[in-house]
A and B are shown apart, each in its own frame.
Chain A
Amino acid sequence: GAGVSQSPSNKVTEKGKDVELRCDPISGHTALYWYRQSLGQGLEFLIYFQGNSAPDKSGLPSDRFSAERTGGSVSTLTIQRTQQEDSAVYLCASSPLGGNEQFFGPGTRLTVL
């Protein structure tokens, strides 16, 4: 069956522009997670959705970052007024209800010039 998909796979943008990253989780998975991995760093938790609600937004690094999830499925991570330090690979993962294992997408590589 289809895994987690993310789009675009690569995004190059200019500093100050807004970007939207999309995640399509595995069908039926209730939980959805966003992480980012900066060069030389581990996976940094950003936000977590259970259904359409986000009980844990503690990882969002600033108010320039926001995310939404609609219909318990697709999620969009939006970064406003991008900065060079936002350059990273943004990974999305989903898991079924009650599941501990997360299934990851291939990531979106964001480069802010």
Chain B
Amino acid sequence: DQQVKQNSPSLSVQEGRISILNCDYTNSMFDYFLWYKKYPAEGPTFLISISSIKDKNEDGRFTVFLNKSAKHLSLHIVPSQPGDSAVYFCAASAITTPLVFGKGTRLSVIA
């Protein structure tokens, strides 16, 4: 039973436009959420995080939104750049659990 779901396995966006990656979770105990970015043949790298006391966190071109009532978070990348092409993993944690990852969404930014 997947606790963290990324329902879109892939997404294509034109350079300069907004990329929106979505993530849903089922465990109401999750209180910290992270996005990781993964290039081929490399380990995931941390991108941005948000704690459950906030509903938005912004870092440059990356913004994460959290909707606790809907158990939904999203990552917005604007403007999208070709170098953003990678697999993006959503992850969630609670005090008593290690990170639980979604299956990832492959983002392709087309020049």
Binding site for B on A (CB under 8 A): 4, 33, 35, 40-45, 48, 56, 91, 93, 100-107
B100–A45 contact, CB under 8 A? yes
Interface residue ranges of B55-107 to A (CB < 8 Å): 89, 91, 93, 97-104
Binding site for A on B (CB under 8 A): 4, 6, 32, 34, 36, 41-46, 49, 89, 91, 93, 97-104
Q: A42-B4, A100-B34 are in contact. List 20 more A-B contacts (CB 8 A).
A: A4-B43, A33-B98, A35-B101, A41-B103, A42-B101, A43-B44, A43-B89, A43-B91, A43-B101, A45-B99, A45-B101, A48-B98, A56-B98, A91-B43, A100-B32, A101-B49, A104-B45, A106-B41, A106-B42, A107-B43
Chain A residues with Cβ below 8 Å from B103 are 40-42
Chain B residues with Cβ below 8 Å from A104 are 36, 43-45
Main SS of chain B's interface residues?
A: strand
A42–B102 contact, CB under 8 A? yes
Chain B residues with Cβ below 8 Å from A102 are 46, 99
Chain A residues with Cβ below 8 Å from B97 are 56
State the Cβ distance, B44 to closest chain A Cβ, in Å.
5
Chain B residues with Cβ below 8 Å from A91 are 43-44
